[in-house]
């Protein structure tokens, strides 16, 4: 058995590949875990912060939508806007004020019970009532309200830090609350006053605990401390000065959000968890497992290589003693299956070797017999020429010509072993066949419309004669009937289209259908003898040129029959070129 170099051995290659396969991922995992232990990916580090922020943003959006709906409901009430606009008359408006108007506003307030609603009216003739209706003039001196009224904004959100003076008894509550101000107008754009929503911050932020350790306020910034530690002033200053969405301050992680349509900044602070010890332990466990896998794989590979060497040694021995030795079958694995298959191949090889010996002996005997019989066709051909010469002496010229035609066909048959012949040679033998048939059917004729340049194309031997024979045998009703067989060949690109048409009695549709089925069937189908020659031609065309070269037949009863086929345009020169 051939010895392989160390690095060409399957065992060596497999060992190195196994080491690379195991330790490369381990190295990559170690690098990634080391990186993660010092600097986790942003999505993992701030996942909890993002979840808290997302929950608060959803709650804020829900309140924004609720406030917008209540505001729209109040301002779309024509009865309320009309009441706020017109001068109040106690004799005519009192009942409407304490019943319809107050009931409507009270129902609207109850739709959001955790927020307080205040309506500050521009119309000072309407008396204050329900702790809801107040005069705007009572709070106009508050600088924040004055600034809002003078601005172009129709609404705004504020908080406790926006109000420097909260001693005004008519001012709405602002301590630990978010304030929503909305200017009120009627449909004619007449100013009616302002709507005020005072909402507890804990309700909006969805945190019930509002102590310094949980929620811390600084202007329009709210810090949600979820680290479990009290933040120092230095840490608070760093957090408040962050200008990115995410930041790390020692063991603290901070994530910042700015809700849409809500002018406040939400910052959540959480504790950064260190997984370095856990990662190191996991890496050590992976390394131990990798070494164990390598040992087990190398053990199995060594056993596999041993069985393979045994198989190869047995095969070398079997080849040297003419396939007599068989490979020993050991175990029950893939090598066992391979051993069975190789033994089957050795059995087949031994059988084929014996068959080849028998065939060689038989071929020698066949060649001797063929050489002995080779002279017989030449003897028959020479004998027919003697008969033809004798017929001419006695004046039987037609019979003599028919005998010569038959001799030519016979010579054509035995003169060459080529499967493909030129079209003009095939046509000449068709004329010889017609000369023979004219002894019985004197009114038959053969016409050929073949361009000279196409007459040198190659066609399978004896293609025309069976088709012409079929036209004569089945196209004539009696010996005196006229019959014209017309052969036409046209070139279309790299293909020849050959059609053979006769004006015989044709076929009925059922007969044509049966004939076409017999041509395509692998078995012979009885068609009153019509398909034997045609099926032979069809089969040979398909074998030489493929299914597309098979015969196509058209026929009309008492009119005509056309047999056509399409083959590649091949000459002897092009055939030699393709072979070379």
Q: Does the residue 282 lie in any domain?
A: no
The answer to whether the beta carbons of residues 523 and 549 sit under 8 Å apart is no
Examine residue 342 and state whether it is found in any structural domain, yes or no.
no
Euclidean distance between CA atoms 228 and 225, whole angstroms: 7
**Number of domains composing the chain:** 2
Q: Are 495 and 467 in contact, with CB atoms under 8 Å apart?
A: no
Residue where a domain stops, chosen among 251, 274, 297: 274
Determine, yes or no, domain membership for 381: no
pLDDT of 376-403, one tens digit each? 455 555 566 666 666 767 677 677 777 7
Domain C-terminal end among 274, 299, 315: 274
CATH, residue 226: 3.30.450.20
Q: Is the dihedral of CA 35, 36, 41, 45 positive or negative?
A: negative
Residue 4 has pLDDT above 50, yes or no: no
Residue ranges making up the domain that contains 473? 444-579
- Is 314 inside any structural domain? no
Task: Identify the pLDDT of residue 546.
Answer: 86
pLDDT tens string 45-90: 677 778 888 888 888 888 888 888 888 888 888 888 888 888 888 7
Residue 127 lies in a domain: yes
Q: Each residue of 241-254: pLDDT tens digit?
A: 888 888 888 778 88
Q: What average pLDDT is seen over the chain?
A: 78
Is residue 124 predicted with pLDDT exceeding 90?
Answer: no
Any idea what the CATH number is for the domain that residue 561 is in? 3.30.565.10
Q: Which residues contact 234 (CB under 8 A, 6 or more apart)?
A: none
- Choose between 322 and 8: higher pLDDT: 322
CA distance 86 to 122: 11
Percent of the chain predicted with pLDDT > 90: 14
Give the tokens for residue 167. 């001693």
Q: What is the mean pLDDT of residues 491-511?
A: 93
Last residue of a domain, one of 250, 274, 298: 274
- Indicate the SS3 state at residue 155: strand
Q: Order of strands across the sheet with 177-185? A: 133-135, 116-121, 191-200, 177-185, 155-159
Per-residue pLDDT, 165: 73
- Considering the domain boundaries, does residue 88 fall inside one? yes
Structure tokens that stand for 573 in this block: 């020169």
The answer as to whether 99 is a domain residue is yes
Stretch 506-513: mean pLDDT: 91
């Amino acid at each position: 058995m051939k010895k392989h170099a160390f690095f060409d051995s399957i065992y060596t290659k497999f060992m190195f590949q196994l080491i690379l396969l195991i330790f490369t991922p381990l190295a990559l995992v170690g690098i990634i875990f080391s990186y993660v232990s010092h600097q986790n990916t942003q999505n993992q580090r701030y996942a909890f912060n993002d979840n808290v922020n997302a929950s608060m943003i959803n709650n804020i959006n829900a309140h924004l939508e609720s406030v917008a709906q209540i505001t729209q409901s109040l301002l779309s009430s024509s009865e309320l806007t009309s009441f706020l606009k017109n001068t109040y008359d106690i004799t005519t408006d009192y009942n409407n004020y304490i019943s319809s108007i107050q009931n409507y506003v009270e129902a609207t307030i109850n739709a959001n019970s955790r927020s307080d609603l205040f309506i500050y009216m521009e119309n000072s003739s309407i008396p204050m009532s329900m702790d809801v209706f107040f005069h705007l003039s009572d709070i106009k001196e508050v600088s924040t309200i004055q600034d809002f009224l003078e601005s172009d904004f129709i609404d705004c959100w504020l908080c406790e830090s926006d109000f420097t003076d909260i001693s005004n008894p008519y001012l709405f509550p602002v301590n630990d609350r978010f304030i929503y101000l909305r200017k009120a107008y009627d449909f004619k754009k007449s100013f009616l006053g302002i709507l005020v929503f005072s909402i507890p911050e804990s309700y909006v932020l969805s945190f019930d605990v509002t102590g310094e350790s949980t929620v811390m306020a600084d202007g329009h910034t709210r810090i949600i401390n979820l680290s479990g530690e009290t933040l120092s002033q230095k840490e608070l200053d760093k957090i408040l000065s962050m200008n990115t969405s995410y930041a790390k301050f020692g063991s603290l992680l901070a994530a910042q959000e700015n809700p849409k349509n809500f002018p406040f900044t939400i910052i959540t602070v959480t504790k950064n968890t260190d997984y370095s010890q856990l990662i190191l332990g996991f890496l050590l466990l992976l390394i131990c497992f990798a070494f164990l896998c390598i040992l087990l794989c190398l053990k199995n590979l060594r056993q596999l290589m041993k069985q393979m060497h045994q198989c190869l040694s047995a095969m070398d021995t079997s080849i040297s003693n003419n396939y007599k030795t068989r490979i020993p079958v050991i175990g029950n694995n893939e090598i066992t299956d391979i051993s069975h298959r190789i033994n089957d191949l050795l059995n087949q090889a031994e059988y084929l070797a014996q068959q080849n010996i028998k065939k060689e002996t038989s071929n020698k005997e066949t060649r001797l017999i063929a050489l002995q019989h080779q002279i017989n066709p030449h003897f028959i051909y020479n004998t027919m020429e003697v008969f033809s010469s004798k017929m001419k002496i006695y004046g039987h010229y037609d019979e003599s010509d028919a005998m010569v035609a038959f001799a030519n066909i016979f010579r054509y048959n035995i003169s060459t072993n080529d499967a493909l012949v030129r079209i003009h040679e095939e046509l000449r033998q068709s004329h010889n066949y017609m000369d023979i048939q004219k002894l019985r059917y004197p009114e038959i004729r053969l016409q050929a419309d073949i361009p000279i340049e196409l007459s040198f194309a190659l066609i399978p031997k004896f293609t025309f004669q069976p088709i012409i024979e079929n036209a004569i045998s089945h196209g004539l009703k009696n010996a005196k009937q006229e019959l014209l067989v017309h052969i036409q060949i046209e070139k279309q690109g790299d293909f020849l289209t050959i059609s053979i048409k006769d004006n015989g009695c044709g076929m009925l549709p059922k007969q044509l259908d049966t004939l076409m089925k017999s041509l395509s069937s692998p078995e012979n189908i009885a068609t009153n003898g019509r398909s034997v020659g045609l099926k032979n031609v069809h089969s040979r065309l398909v074998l030489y040129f493929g299914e597309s070269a098979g015969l196509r037949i058209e026929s009309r009863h008492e009119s005509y029959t056309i047999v056509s086929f399409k083959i590649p345009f091949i000459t002897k020169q092009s055939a030699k070129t393709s072979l070379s």
